[in-house]
Amino acid sequence: DVVLTQTPSTLSATIGQSVSISCRSSQSLLDSAGNTYLYWYLQRPGQSPQLLIYLVSNLGSGVPNRFSGSGSGTDFTLKISGVEAEDLGVYYCMQATHAPPTFGSGTKLEIK
């Protein structure tokens, strides 16, 4: 199975600070058709996950534009430009290029 390594595991930020989360894959996530099936989710405390970013860099429905995704191949980044209090929770990357779909171990964002 593809292993996704997220760093850091914990992140502490002040309101307004910009932060980045890295997701590195054990295999390239580019498929033979030129698609990269890499996604980002946020799980707020006590809630189910919600989709933030799909196909590396596309914003999910209703997701604020302070969230952005980038990357290619095996290295991907989620950036939050100006953290807000509601952004606290655990962020997961997920790949669906290779079966089975696999998730990273998560990055917990704490607000200082």
Cβ atoms of 6 and 23 within 8 Å: the answer is yes
Residue in 39, 67, 76, 91 binding another protein, rule: CB under 8 A: 39
Nearer to another protein, 18 or 31 (CB): 31
Asked if 91 interacts with another protein (CB under 8 A), we say no
- In one-letter notation, the amino acid at residue 59 is L
Nearer to another protein, 83 or 94 (CB): 94
Nearer to another protein, 57 or 106 (CB): 106
Rounded Cα–Cα distance for residues 72 and 91 (Å):
19
Q: Which of 48, 42, 47, 49 is nearest to 90 (CA)?
A: 42
Rounded Cα–Cα distance for residues 11 and 98 (Å):
29
Asked if 28 interacts with another protein (CB under 8 A), we say no
Kindly list the residues in this chain that would bind another protein in the complex (CB under 8 A). 37, 39, 41, 43, 47-51, 54, 60-61, 92, 94, 96, 99-106
